[in-house]
Amino acid sequence: MSKIEIIPAIDIIEGRCVRLQQGDYDRRKVYDASPVDMAKRYADCGVKRIHVVDLDGAKSSSPKNLRTLEQMAVGAGVEIEWGGGIKSEESLRALFDYGATYAIVGSVAAREPMLFAQWLATFGGERMVLGADVRDGKISVNGWQEDLAVTIEELIDGFLPMGLSQVVCTDITRDGMLQGPTDELYVQLQERYPMVDFTVSGGIGSMADIERLNEKGLRKVIVGKAIYENRITLKDIEQWSLNV
């Protein structure tokens, strides 16, 4: 069985690396390293994919850091999955033109499922990723500022016939808290939908968390704040990635 893939996260506001606690823009911490420098460091560690969230885009409903995306794609040479503010096909095409390998769509998928289904048909499940942000089992949208009545299972069931094959699921209650992920949520989802690659997101605080998820058969995990706070080192990531 292959090891779980570590996908480092970079959150961007005004071209700078930041981390939020539980999605709260007022509880942000700005880090010194530029997104481009961080992407290069991760690439040097053997990382194949980086998870990037355009927080300016998420708040304003259109991608805002496309130049940074372009610099990261050219400078680091890794696959980039990009989310934040993707509300139109124009935005989607711009992302791919500027170098994104994958597009993560959350709010549109939940609010306008027919539109996301159309994008799945146009761009394919190998490029389109469902971003499912969950609070107490229900989907949250618009930068986690609004909760909907729909469950993650209902959302996934609607898109499976259209070729959905990748889901990033974030447990909002754990995000940025470094207290460990909600293992059961991801195990249940992966077992229910074996044809879908689920990415664990939210709460990773140590390599022990990653090792535990790996033992449970999960396939991908996003690590963000734990890296910036030195709970997980670049050396840890390098050793893990090179032994996949």
- pLDDT by residue (tens digit) across 194-224? 999 999 999 999 999 999 999 999 999 999 9
**What pLDDT, on the 0 to 100 scale, is given for residue 178?**
82
194 close to 156: Cβ distance less than 8 angstroms: no
Question: Is 1's pLDDT higher than 70?
Answer: no
Select which of 11, 54, 175, 209 is catalytic: 11
Distance (Å, rounded) from C-alpha 9 to C-alpha 110?
23
Burial (CB count <10 Å: 0-12, 13-18, 19+), residue 140: buried
| Catalytic status, residue 133 | yes
Percent of the chain with pLDDT over 70: 96
| Model pLDDT for residues 108-157, shown as the tens digit of each residue | 999 999 999 999 999 999 999 999 999 988 998 866 667 888 999 999 99
What the block records as the tokens of 34 is 């530029």
Q: What is the pLDDT of residues 72-104, one digit of tens each?
A: 999 999 999 999 999 999 999 999 999 999 999
Contact (CB, 8 A) for 165 and 196: yes
Provide the whole-model pTM: 0.93
Token duo for residue 109:
């998928």
- Cα distances from 199 to residues 8, 74, 122, 168, in angstroms, run 12, 25, 23, 5
User: Would you state the pLDDT for residue 22?
Assistant: 66
Among 24, 37, 133, 175, the one annotated catalytic = 133
Does residue 47 register a pLDDT over 90?
yes
Length of the chain measured in residues: 244
Mean pLDDT across the chain? 92
User: Is a pLDDT exceeding 90 seen at residue 33?
Assistant: no
Q: Which fold would CATH assign to domain 5-242?
A: TIM Barrel (3.20.20)
How do 197-201 and 166-171 pair as beta strands? parallel
Structure tokens at 112: 């306008």
Q: What's residue 144's pLDDT?
A: 65
Query: What does the alpha-carbon distance between residue 100 and residue 54 come to, in Å, rounded to a whole number?
Result: 12
- What is the distance, to the nearest Å, from the Cα of residue 119 to the centroid of all Cα atoms in its chain? 18
